[in-house]
Chains A and B, each alone.
Chain A
Amino acid sequence: MMIATDNISKTFYDSKRGEIHAVCPTNIVIRKSEIFGLLGPNGAGKTTLLRMLSTVLSPTTGTATINRLDLLKNQEQIKKNIGFLSGNTRLYGRLSPRELLNYFGALYEIPPPQIKIRTTKIFDMLDMWEFIDQRIEKLSTGQTQKTSIGRTILHDPPVYILDEPTLGLDILTGRTIIQFIRDSAAQGKTILFSTHYMEEAEMLCDRIGLMHEGNILDVDTLDNLKRKKNASHLADIFLAYIEEAA
């Protein structure tokens, strides 16, 4: 058990709509070395849930444990145990990838020689050498995404939390990410990722959590979900769940 949420929830206040329950009290368990996909339409609450698990937002109620660390009590340790990547975790455009990784490495309190070894490995792995000294603002989308991945795995955390990692990317760059997720799982990393592309979930996930309007509708393997709703496509399964909930 790598991640376990304990009635975690988030409520926002909005002047127009009043109180919004972005995430209703939720309990999910993610095992070690598992690829767990969180699937749902826009506004389902996926991002909010992942932001809470990565300590960017604090939960309104409940908590969670990651690698046996309590989310509310060991924020600093949890941050060292996760790598968080989302469309919103952008990079400093005026730094080069090398400077950026050195900066974050220093903040993770990795000793400088260690950082050197680690970044060399990352540059090799992601094939980054040709652009590591250019400013990030000048890089292509694919190169930027590689730098982002480098940033996420820099401190070698056991858990990766990836929020819509392929959103807005072309097919080639998207494949870099998919390949990265597969490789990481093979190395024993636990991966929690969200998406609203059904195919991506079908392709990658060991288990899938279906999320809609702040609620987890069901969590199971793809095969079991297919069986339960007697449908072969994830999209159909999802619609069946939404109809059932309504």
Chain B
Amino acid sequence: MNWKKVSIVYRKEIKDTLRDKRTVMMMILVPILLYPMLFMIMGQLMTAGAKKLEAQDSIIAINNSLPEVLIQMIRAEEKFDIQDMENPVESLKAKEIQGFLTRTVDADTLQFVVYFDGAIDKSRLCKERLTGILNHYLRQQQEKLLAQNKVDISVLEPFKITSENIAPPSRMGGMLLGSMIPLILIVTMVLGAMYPAIDLTAGEKERGTLETILTIPIQRLELLFGKFLTVTTTAFITGLLNLASMILIYTSGMVQIGKISELMKFGITPYGLLWLILSLIPFALFISAAIISVCLFARSFKEAQNFVTPVYLLIMFPSFIAFMPGVELNRTLAMIPVVNISLLFREIFLNNYPLELIVFTFISNSFAAMLFIIVVVKLFHAESVLFGENQPFRLSLKRSQIKRAPVFQPSSALLIFALVMLLLFYIGSYAQMKSITWGLIITEWGLIALPVFLFIWFFKIDPKQTLHMHQTNWAAYLGTIFTGIGALGVMIWVSRFQMEIFPEYEELVKSIEKILNISNTHLPPAVGLFIFALSPAICEEVLFRGILLSSLRKYLPGWMAVVFVGFLFGLFHVHLFRIIPTALLGILFTYIVFRTGSIWPAMLAHFVNNTLVYLLVNFPSLAEKLPWFSDESWPTLKATLILTGLMVIGIGLIEISNKNKKPRQALS
């Protein structure tokens, strides 16, 4: 890569971007004008609102059988406006009054009851005022009774309780700001990166300058890198300006949101500020790479905006973690992009600088950014991406107008996947809650296989092609069986590994077994195998290794299609701790179809794998004979060797079965 050319592109793109009004608005005007105004108005409104509320009288009703003294006390209080109501509780519901005080006598104990509506500010205030009076009355009664019995009042208070907050106001401010500022920073930085990213990729396609630049002697990597650095710069500047603006707002005392500014002072040290600014860089790298990589697929500005929205949500969601109580930056979390940044910001606001974790955070974000760039460069060479020859998804509801096609368009296949996921969320989980056995049967056949076949029929897709229903040879099947058994070892290793990293979630991991463990439902093994092994092997394969692989294969380089389908398979198992092991398993199954060109071996492998898991979980006697599969401890060396050996032999056989064909032709 010629860095001089990258720098030429960078300087030009910065100039170009700064001349774009939308970018400048997002980058500069929003932080330095919109924020202070927004905060100021919000603060004023909140303060004014609180004062107004405080000044208002509470309209209440009281039960006339209350003690006369209490009634006198309430009447003496100016803030109460007592109304007579026939049915005070109903009046409260109708919002005619804000509180109702009554009494009950229950087993000789006198009890006062304050009715209020917790959803209404005025009513909550009314409740506080009433309980204040009641406490006052209680104290009076206590004093009176004690005096009658000639007991000193001090018996009521043998000791006092106080607490002392040792956190200086700056740290209290850090807690709050440390949770809020990361979120605001992350959101604004993404917004700041979004327009230039779209403009420099899809915008360039839309305006037709891409073809011009392709005739110039510059490598696509150099071009992309120049653009990537430009977007990173705008994201960084946006973050910096926002940070500066927010710090100014808080320190200047311009904004007084209720009592917050009294309680907390903003106390970040210059050293902390430096760290904060530095940590904006890896985050800017990460979001720029992520956003650019989706934008490259879009053909127009508008389409790119649609593509960016889910990425925006995906980035924003983990940043909420800084709001979660008890979550602190540790080594594991420091590995996860976005999450680590939002937690690191909070640490810095609390005046903690965990150097090791900061380094982890930097590395993980930069690494993820690089990964995106590498993948994107691969794709950026694909002409279908550059010239957008891929057809957009058009839903034509007249079947007669639909033309036959060998496989689905990638966008259509992904939409079907999304639809199946929705069905699983809304119908599948409900059905499984009602009855695990029937629920699973309905899920597999009704919610996965049925939609897939319906779509194949409706869109006149060639089932043989899209489902890879091709013949293959015995070596492939044999290899598949070995691989299927060996794969179990890999899954156990990965699960074990996860448990070592997240020991606190062991219970969660174990809960998976409960799903599989249906021995108490007394199902005959044949039925159990049908539900847990055969059905998924057919239905899930048809979706993943069938329509998803065959369509994505047309669009992505082979290995990427394999990894991507595997990853979707992991996601499909909607369980945080199953994503990685099942994704690996998915990659393996996808690889089998990719190499043999046939879906049958993958179905067999899936069946073998699920059968083994089912048997091990439901027949403890079998599991005892095969202690290797226990996930209580690491698999033994012997077990690892045997299982790895099986897998190597299996993969070898699959490769041999494919010997006469060139790898890329196996699928076509």
Q: Which residues of A contact B (CB under 8 A)?
A: 12-16, 18, 51, 54-58, 75-77, 79-80, 82, 84, 86, 88-95, 99, 103-104, 106-109, 135, 151
Q: In the complex the two chains form, is A93's CB within 8 Å of B15's CB? A: no
Interface status of B215 (Cβ within 8 A of chain A): yes
Contact partner of B8 (CB less than 8 A), chosen from A16, A91, A95, A107, is A107
Q: In the complex the two chains form, is B16's CB within 8 Å of A90's CB? A: no
18 pairs, CB–CB < 8 Å, chain A vs chain B = A15-B391, A56-B215, A77-B217, A80-B217, A84-B215, A89-B209, A89-B215, A90-B209, A90-B211, A90-B212, A92-B12, A95-B12, A99-B15, A107-B9, A107-B216, A108-B216, A108-B217, A109-B217
Q: In the complex the two chains form, is B389's CB within 8 Å of A14's CB? A: yes
Q: In the complex the two chains form, is B554's CB within 8 Å of A94's CB? A: no
Q: In the complex the two chains form, is A151's CB within 8 Å of B212's CB? A: yes
**Distance of A16 Cα from B209 Cα, bound (Å):** 28
**Distance of A135 Cα from B19 Cα, bound (Å):** 10
Q: In the complex the two chains form, is B19's CB within 8 Å of A91's CB? A: no
* Chain B residues within 8 Å of A88, by CB: 208, 211
Q: In the complex the two chains form, is B16's CB within 8 Å of A92's CB? A: yes
Q: In the complex the two chains form, is B209's CB within 8 Å of A54's CB? A: no
Interface status of B1 (Cβ within 8 A of chain A): no
**Distance of A76 Cα from B216 Cα, bound (Å):** 8
* Chain A residues within 8 Å of B9, by CB: 107
Q: In the complex the two chains form, is A90's CB within 8 Å of B405's CB? A: no
Q: In the complex the two chains form, is B15's CB within 8 Å of A95's CB? A: yes
**Distance of A128 Cα from B387 Cα, bound (Å):** 32
Q: In the complex the two chains form, is A14's CB within 8 Å of B212's CB? A: no
Q: Which residues of B contact A (CB under 8 A)?
A: 5, 8-9, 12, 15-16, 19-20, 207-209, 211-212, 214-218, 383, 387, 389, 391, 403, 405-406, 409, 554
A94 and chain B: residue at smallest CB distance: B19
* Chain A residues within 8 Å of B211, by CB: 51, 56, 86, 88-90
B61 to chain A, nearest CB (A): 69
Given A15-B405, A56-B215, A84-B215, decide whether A90 and B391 contact each other with a Cβ distance below 8 A: no
* Chain A residues within 8 Å of B383, by CB: 57-58
Contact partner of B212 (CB less than 8 A), chosen from A51, A80, A89, is A89
Contact partner of B16 (CB less than 8 A), chosen from A16, A77, A94, A107, is A94
Q: In the complex the two chains form, is A54's CB within 8 Å of B215's CB? A: yes
Q: A99-B12, A104-B216, A108-B216 are in contact. List 11 more A-B contacts (CB 8 A).
A: A12-B389, A15-B391, A15-B405, A55-B214, A57-B387, A76-B217, A88-B211, A89-B215, A90-B211, A107-B5, A135-B19
Q: Identify the interface centre among A56, A104, A107: most chain B CB within 10 Å of its CB.
A: A107
**Distance of A91 Cα from B212 Cα, bound (Å):** 7
* Chain A residues within 8 Å of B207, by CB: 90, 93
A57 and chain B: residue at smallest CB distance: B383
Contact partner of A79 (CB less than 8 A), chosen from B216, B387, B389, B405, is B216
Given A15-B409, A58-B383, A95-B15, decide whether A79 and B212 contact each other with a Cβ distance below 8 A: no
* Chain B residues within 8 Å of A58, by CB: 383
* Chain A residues within 8 Å of B405, by CB: 15-16
* Chain B residues within 8 Å of A18, by CB: 406
Q: In the complex the two chains form, is B409's CB within 8 Å of A55's CB? A: no
* Chain B residues within 8 Å of A76, by CB: 217
* Chain B residues within 8 Å of A99, by CB: 12, 15
**Distance of A58 Cα from B381 Cα, bound (Å):** 10
**Distance of A55 Cα from B216 Cα, bound (Å):** 9
Q: In the complex the two chains form, is A82's CB within 8 Å of B212's CB? A: no
Q: Identify the interface centre among A13, A58, A77: most chain B CB within 10 Å of its CB.
A: A13
B208 and chain A: residue at smallest CB distance: A90
Q: In the complex the two chains form, is A95's CB within 8 Å of B16's CB? A: yes
B201 to chain A, nearest CB (A): 14
* Chain B residues within 8 Å of A151, by CB: 212
Contact partner of A107 (CB less than 8 A), chosen from B19, B208, B218, B403, is B218
B406 and chain A: residue at smallest CB distance: A18
B216 and chain A: residue at smallest CB distance: A107
B214 and chain A: residue at smallest CB distance: A56
* Chain A residues within 8 Å of B15, by CB: 94-95, 99
* Chain A residues within 8 Å of B16, by CB: 92, 94-95
**Distance of A79 Cα from B211 Cα, bound (Å):** 13
A91 to chain B, nearest CB (A): 7
* Chain A residues within 8 Å of B19, by CB: 94, 135
Q: In the complex the two chains form, is B215's CB within 8 Å of A55's CB? A: yes
B123 to chain A, nearest CB (A): 58
**Distance of A173 Cα from B207 Cα, bound (Å):** 21
A107 to chain B, nearest CB (A): 5
